[in-house]
A and B are shown apart, each in its own frame.
Chain A
Amino acid sequence: MDSLFTRYRNLVVLLAFLVVQIAGLAVQVRRTSYGRSTLDTVDPKSVRLIRLWANAVVSPPERLIHATKIGSTGLWTDYFDLIHVRQQNQDLQKTVDRLRLEQAALLEDARQGQRLQAMLGFQEKYIYTTVPAQVYGSSGSDRSHVFYIDKGAHNGLKPDMAVITSDGIVGKVRDVFPYSAQVLAVNDPTSGAGVILETTRIRGVLKGDVAGRLEVVGVTADQRIKPGENVLTAGGDLIFPRGLPVGVVERVATDPDNDGLVDIYLKPATHLDRLDEVLVITSTEPRFSKQDQQDITTSENLKGAEAATISDQLKAAQIMGEKLPGLVDPSLPPDKQPLYDDTNPNPATPPPQPLHPDEFSPGAAYTPPSATNPPAGSGTGADNSSASHAPSGAGSKAAPASHSTPQTPPQRNL
């Protein structure tokens, strides 16, 4: 027996390693009620321990590399890349002013929306607190779209917390270690999120494919779905708050496995391959956060009156537009507008040009009478000749009237 082991030692060791690993795999895979195999979403304790060890070994050097990279790029951005900062600062201040004005203008709508939601018994969840984190590493495999962030259990992170950037959603926390966490990106085949198309309000499930592309699956074929439409989170998955940007529809393809369904491929709102900083949503509440409330109050104080004035002006313009007849019909395309309609037997004609432009003539600059330019009808040859060529009408009647009674104000020459 001993000699047999010695003789086949290499093969025995190989088999032992393979058998142990196959047994380990067997406890990690389970069969679903649909008869398909799937991995446990929550790792068994022993597996989690192995991940913890691997993370403890690989994380410190990865963080060191990341810190070196940040340091070198920071040197550049802090010292050499400050040439246009003043201009950028001014531009940003303008953007802040504009956003404050928009926020103040939208505040009343938001309050009305909240009142309606309260009446319907539905409470919107707002992002209440977030933890900023740096991305320092990945899984190293293109089959596993996970990455690591430098915040963990000590920073209050828990599994299934949403991870976002200012551009849109990124993924969810899958595993939490003491000082780091593993995030499952939305473009992984095993991820999932409820999404809704912004204009058509069609709902679907967001997943990733093997190439790391985003797709919305399980959508009934609909001709209204067009490239360029925005896709937002639907909020029904209890992970991502409603209304966060997901991406833009890139193309629609027929689902090869299911008749009548289509797969919608998206261009992600965030650059999922090049993430540096992310925000982990640690809590959502049915009310605005303190920071949000402060921002709203500031905007209301600074721009509230201005927003109200603009709103009143818009309302007045709308009322005037509704009351006054117009040559522009909003329901018709530009080339079919009444003004340009050649088939109309009674076309709308632009107003005739005045013979003698005055201050009341539309679009004409009026020059007041002076010593070098006597008023009409004072006896100059030019005025007389123009008056003699004038057709009988309002224009021809206006001249004698003004001539005979110089004190009366000039009549409209239309």
Chain B
Amino acid sequence: MALLGADARRDFEIHRYPLLIYALVPLVALVLQAWLPRILGRFAWVDLPLVITVYFALGRRNPVQGTVIGAVMGLFEDALSHYAIGINGIAKTAVGFLAASVGIRVEVDNHTVRVLLIFVLSLVSSAIYLFVSRFMLGLAIEWSWLTELFRAVGNSVVGLVLFPVLDRLQIRE
């Protein structure tokens, strides 16, 4: 894992995509996220909005953009559920910021690094969700870390398959 200067990496390796991709990919992720549980039932251990947040945050290497992408994806997820709007929003805002901050300093085109990052950031997202809902809001929610571990693995597998596909959509100079 090569550590580089922030400015050097930002200048050379910012991933750029057509504007349509920025709108379409998150939308497809949200739609599939809402549709997959009807196919996989309670074994739908995947969080596509998180995977997409991490992907764009790593690619753009801009913490502000990572924050915005994460916040939008998280708020949409909350809005589709019946829970308070903002719990997922806070979790994914933080994940977007962290992913972009890591993307500035670390070589992230390597698939292993990406998968590892998704796995860790999935667990970070779960921990923030738990912290906000149980400790900040005092909501009585039941929790299973085993399920969160499965979800982190599921996200990593999806990222392993999805990231090379999304890489093909980049604008090459």
Contact = CB atoms under 8 A, between A and B. Distances in A.
A184 B140 CA distance: 18
B83 A39 contact: yes
A24 interface: yes
A9 interface: yes
B153 to A, nearest CB: 15
B19 to A, nearest CB: 17
Interface residues of B, number: 48
What's the dominant secondary structure at chain B's contact region?
A: helix
Nearest to B88: A141
B137 interface: yes
A22 B35 contact: no
Contacts of B28: 61
Interface residues of A, number: 54
B136 A39 contact: no
Contacts of B81: 139-141, 143-144, 146
A58 B142 contact: no
Contact of B37 (A29, A58, A138, A184): A138
B27 A138 contact: no
Interface string A263-281: 0000000000110000000
A18 interface: yes
Interface string A177-192: 0000010100011100
Contacts of A18: 90, 93-94
B162 interface: no
Residue among A65, A138, A148, A175 with the highest chain B CB neighbour number at 10 A = A138
Given A140-B35, A143-B81, 9 more contacts: A13-B63, A22-B90, A29-B84, A38-B139, A61-B28, A139-B82, A140-B80, A146-B81, A273-B42
6 contacts: A29-B138, A65-B35, A139-B80, A143-B141, A144-B82, A190-B82
Interface of B: 27-28, 30-31, 33-38, 41-42, 44, 63-64, 67-68, 71, 75-77, 79-90, 93-94, 97, 101, 132, 136-144, 147
In the A-B complex, the 6 residue pairs with the closest CB atoms: A54-B79, A210-B142, A144-B81, A37-B138, A140-B33, A10-B63
